[in-house]
Amino acid sequence: MMQSTVDTPIVTAAMTDDPAMADTDMSGFSSARNIRATVVQASTIFYDTPATLDKAERLTAEAAALGSQLVVFPEAFIGGYPRGATFGAVIGNRSLKGREDFRRYHASAIDVPGPEVDRLASIAAKYKVHLVMGVIERAGGTLHCAVVFFDGQGQYLGKHRKLMPTASERLIWGFGDGSTMPVLETQVGRIGALICWENRMPLLRTAMYGKGIELYCAPTADSRPSWQASMTHIALEGGCFVLSANQFCRRKDYPPPPEYIFEGLEEEPSPDTVVCPGGSVIVSPLGTVLAGPNYEDEALVFADLDFGDIVRAKFDFDVVGHYARPDIFGLTVRDHLPSAVTFTSKLTTEMEKNTADMRRLSLSKVLLPKSGNGCKGHEGTLL
């Protein structure tokens, strides 16, 4: 076990580098690699995105100083996870304060792409780390809980939008779709991410396994002990490394009342009350917990990853390989981008163009005459 302390009360846990890159296939696997990865357990500075970006850079610098090549941040680190908030909504009514709360939350979100994404890219490049960051993405009037990916040269690789917000999250976050479920080929391995309870969706996990995921990132807001069982199961099921990052938050990390109220509790928590205890963890493909879970404070949880463990794990269980039964079971993934609005004028124009092209083609055909000189020829053959 190796311990290290940093400037703030961050505890370092144990250990043992073009536009969006294309989804990977499963060919060309190499197990002769070792990297160091860090999952960050820290709180958003709520309603202050510039300050949160500054904090993200400081934490990334500390992870890089530990020798990490991959740094994974929690769900909604940029933009914030609005724990305890109701946004003034009940069935049939939304309060004026709730609408204002949503406006402020919307203002804290980021555009993808946008200036905050550029800042994150520069952080990844400056510290030469692959960066996986939980963000709240602003898409017009709709917000999405998302993850954005960057390589060690600072290139933005792509994003994943949470497919299924949980319970009251559906009030404030839109649904993702099949077009943002990447597994990205990078210098440190094949990286993808599912967010929080998406990880409970067996078919979604199977899609990620089918893309050959090696570094399975699981940013979350779930700090319960049962989450650890899920992370271990996924590592064993997928034969992949699982890196789960959660925030560690106290009540004072959110705005004070009455500006921000924690609903659903018998009484308002005191400023030092822990409202999310973290539980960030790294698990190997063999089901071994390499680092964490940490429930003590803000922390950098890191481990050295031996990619040979992926092959060792798949020796007796390859969920989409020799242990699959495609003669019985199959999975179809609709990974296209759906559109909420389609203009029929565009369709009509395209149909008219196709009709005109067909008319011109028919007029250009030549009717050959019957051949003479006693030879049997073509009888009105159209070319």
Q: What does the pLDDT profile of the chain (383 residues) look like in tens digits?
A: 333 333 444 444 444 433 334 454 444 455 668 999 999 999 999 999 999 999 999 999 999 999 999 999 999 999 999 999 999 999 999 999 999 999 999 999 999 999 999 999 999 999 999 999 999 999 999 999 999 999 999 999 999 999 999 999 999 999 999 999 999 999 999 999 999 999 999 999 999 999 999 999 999 999 999 999 999 999 999 999 999 999 999 999 999 999 999 988 888 899 999 999 999 999 999 999 999 999 999 999 999 999 999 999 999 999 999 989 999 999 999 988 877 788 877 666 666 666 666 666 666 554 445 544 444 444 444 33
Residues whose CB is less than 8 angstroms from the CB of residue 158 and which lie 6 or more positions away in sequence, other chains included: 20, 21, 148, 149, 180, 182, 184
Which element (helix H / strand E) includes 64?
helix 49-65
Q: Are residues 297 and 362 located together in one domain of the fold?
A: no
* Eight-class DSSP state of 269: P
Residue 337 maps to a domain: no
Q: Are residues 243 and 165 located together in one domain of the fold?
A: yes
Q: Are residues 10 and 89 located together in one domain of the fold?
A: yes
Nearest Cα neighbor of 39 from 15, 17, 16 is 15
Residue 211 maps to a domain: yes
Q: Could you give the CA distance from residue 73 to residue 32 in angstroms, rounded to a whole number?
A: 26
Number of domains comprising the chain: 2
Q: Are residues 263 and 371 located together in one domain of the fold?
A: no
Residue 321 maps to a domain: no
Question: Strands, DSSP E only, in 89-244?
Answer: 89-90, 93-94, 130-139, 142-150, 156-161, 184-186, 189-193, 215-217, 241-244
Q: Could you give the CA distance from residue 29 to residue 26 in angstroms, rounded to a whole number?
A: 7
267 is catalytic: no
Q: Active site residue: 62, 75, 198, 214, which one?
A: 75
Q: Could you give the CA distance from residue 110 to residue 367 in angstroms, rounded to a whole number?
A: 64
Q: How far apart are the first and last CA of the chain?
A: 79
Within 10 Å of residue 212's Cβ, how many Cβ atoms?
Answer: 22
Whole domain around residue 377: which residue ranges?
A: 342-383
Domain boundary among 295, 314, 333: 314
Residue 144 maps to a domain: yes
Q: What is the CATH number of the domain that holds 139?
A: 3.60.110.10
Residue 380 maps to a domain: yes
Residue 23 maps to a domain: yes
Residue 359 maps to a domain: yes
Q: Take residue 34 and report the two structure tokens written for it.
A: 């070792």
Residues whose CB is less than 8 angstroms from the CB of residue 6 and which lie 6 or more positions away in sequence, other chains included: 12, 62, 300
Rg of the Cα atoms in the chain? 26
Q: Could you give the CA distance from residue 65 to residue 91 in angstroms, rounded to a whole number?
A: 50
Q: Are residues 139 and 33 located together in one domain of the fold?
A: yes
3-state secondary structure labels for all residues of 219-243: CECCCCHHHHHHHHHHHHHHCCEEE
